[in-house]
Chains A and B, each alone.
Chain A
Amino acid sequence: MTAGKKKWDVIVIGSGPGGLAAAIEAKKNGAQDVLIVERDVELGGILLQCIHNGFGVELFGDDLPGPTYAQKFIDETLALGVETRLDTMVMDVTPMRTVWVTKRDGFEELEARAVVLAMGCRERTRPQIRIPGTRPAGVYTAGLAQQFVNIEGWMPGERFVILGSGDIGMIMARRLTFEGAKVERVLEVMPYLTGLMRNYVQCLLDFDIELQLEHTVSRIIGHERVEAVEAVQVDKDWKPVPGSEEIIPCDTLLLSVGLIPENELSRQAGVIIDPITGGPYVNEDMETNVPGIFAAGNVVHVYDLVDWVTTAGYVAGRGAAKFAIEQRKHVDREVPIEAGENVGHVVPHRLCKDTLVERDVQLQMRVKRPIEKPVSVELLDGHERVTRQGARYARPGEMVTLNVPQKAYDAVNKAESLQVRVVER
């Protein structure tokens, strides 16, 4: 180690919406030296390949394409004087916040007072859902196909079957149709849509693309390149219904079967991962169990709207700046927040009671089963209700947010644990 080595206040790993927001907010909250490390050659992350609109409705009241949304934050990041290392891959993060990076001009060790993990998520792949059959070319994740088409300028095929009604899959169904390809079918194993309803309407219905619920791909056929897939209906236990097999000729199978937070670096840093979300256990500042290591956006849990990734990034950036400046130890007056009735998971996992003295806190959760009528979203201390709000419906594809107002301080203060639930009103 060379003497007088530079110590960054905050190093942000990843420059997608979560990372950009974290860097901006860290800088605005007093962190002097803020660095973004990005593995691609430009800032923006996956937003750059999301050329469809639908971004910024919640934050700006504007319906923007991904690159335009990203550019707003890139401009602000650079105007604030955040430094960047592009085409640079982080190889290792230690619990003491040493960040090892590699890039074309060398392999380097960086030191930080606080680190924000903003690596985003990756797509589930064929082996993870265990589709039987051969292993030809022509089986891609929807996001990879999106990169081929929107960034590289290549069509990966002409006749597509899409497995999974996730948002990227539906958006790609429309995109590929624009490019003159035929999308034969979208298959979804669940009895309901897993992506946003608006994408179903705008990407499938408007283009006469058939969605089959409770169907999956039971076999891939073809030696060199995909020649067909076998589709099958499934029962409530996801078991194939005998006799329902159908061969659909196609040259490409796209998979839109879920996203997984990308946390390999987090694990190296000693961050403990929630097996339900696939992301770190965090508090309301998005701080992980490792002091000074924060997490922003899809690396924590997978959001449905980029706007919420940005706001989560703001929270993490503020927390990181505060930590970098104060080098504080986190106070212990924390209460765990647990997923109750009809809630799959909730973030944050724990809440410092004293934060409510300063500000409201947002809880975000996903429901387990859809309720297509008015619901009540509630925070409970045992049988006692701490706060509640209503919603018109609850769907697994759409994240539910509950605001915990400052006035809930007294109720939270005496709680030893809190539970959230989403039930029919």
Chain B
Amino acid sequence: MRRSSVSVIVVVFMIIALGGLAHGQVLNIAIPQDPDSFDPVKTVAAATSEVAFNIYEGLVKATPEGEVVGALSSHWTVNDSNTIYTFYLRDGAVFHDGTQVTADDVVHALNRARDPEVAVRAGELSMIRDVRSIEKGVEIELYEPNGAFIYTLSEVYASIYPAHAADLARNPVGTGPYYLQEWLPNQELELRRFDQYWSGEKPYFEQANFLIIPDENSMVLNLKAGRVNLIPRLEMTVLHQVENDPNLEVLSAPMNLVQVFSINNAREPFNDWRVRKALALGVDRLAILYGAAWGHGTLLDSALSPSMANFYNDALHEVNPYDPQRARELLKEAGHENLKLTLTLPANYPLHVQAGELVAQQWKALGIQVDLQIVEWGTWLERVYTQRDYDVSVIGLAGRLDPHAILVRYTTNNSRNFFNFSNERYDELIALGLRTVGSDRRAVYLEAQKILAEELPGVFVMDPPQLAAMTKGIQGWRSYPTYVVDVASLYR
């Protein structure tokens, strides 16, 4: 009697366990904040692209190596003058609502993305003259050759969705390996595997939940307690809490973010190259790497991160070595031995604030009087970024797949050039780089980076690490040079 009741219990438990298996594999991912909108042409928050990468696809998509490969287009060809791209659509690609992907959908989505009346980032696709549907795909005609064009097609704003879709902001319809099942603001986003995905390969996890946990300490505790399996972007301040936990694993990769002490090149006395050079030689970047980032991260000599391997100039190490002696001489030469400057720090970025506090000490050692000013993010954006009313500041500039998108910032008339940097040769090179297609681009951008290192719009410090913390057993993590979490590549 007793024995049979035991076996009944065992059987019941086995059924429950099997039921659990049948329920499918679930991955819980912790992110600090909600997306803003899933309408590809309206979204501006980085938090959106992180999730949207799994839902939407463009004609092409980014790879972890920083290349682009076909997504909804199986392949493409370019005409001899490099102005007409022909994309061939994949057979059998369907949207999450079950409808077939047609060339008309592509034309509609791309036209909407470059319509300044609707799309926030319409300007980024302004190189397109016309998009037309052809028998097996679409043809995109450019005004002139453009080396950055193919990369822009991998951005969220160039995602493809059905022409009949309404209310994309909350109900995205894409072609990605996952679709959005539910979005509970401040709580979670539930993604489900899309079983009609064109590749035919099914990702391991049937369900992926992005849990919103704003506090970094509680993120870590949730990981340790097993409620969360993956933190894609762990704050460095809590790294020590996970490092020695045998059940957890932390993978580090460059974030493709350029931390830079920006110098207001238009303002006295920083318009004097010797003063900027003195500031650069007075920065002990290694000390900042250890002091602010616990030694994680990559030192930078350029405005590009080494994660942009195809374009990064790795021959600039000796341009600005730490040399306080020479820095003092330069200040003396320029007649600014008693230099005073205000260092404006954005309060919401502990990494930048710490870097700023460290550099203040290093510059004080040169006899410079440094006045630290810590401001709230909104104030920073208004005063430093928009009005350019500052001496020196520090910020991280997010990388992209294509060097042009990053480097164009330093051209004379660019609206994002809050450095007020101006160099004629540099402007020429950036214009040339955009017109150049193929392998010749590299040489152009190598020279452009050299100019930035020598002429100093600011002092480039480091690319902080992107730390992905996960429970042991989660495999297949791929870190991208863009702001994404690739759920489909993960398995247990």
Chains A and B belong together in one complex: no
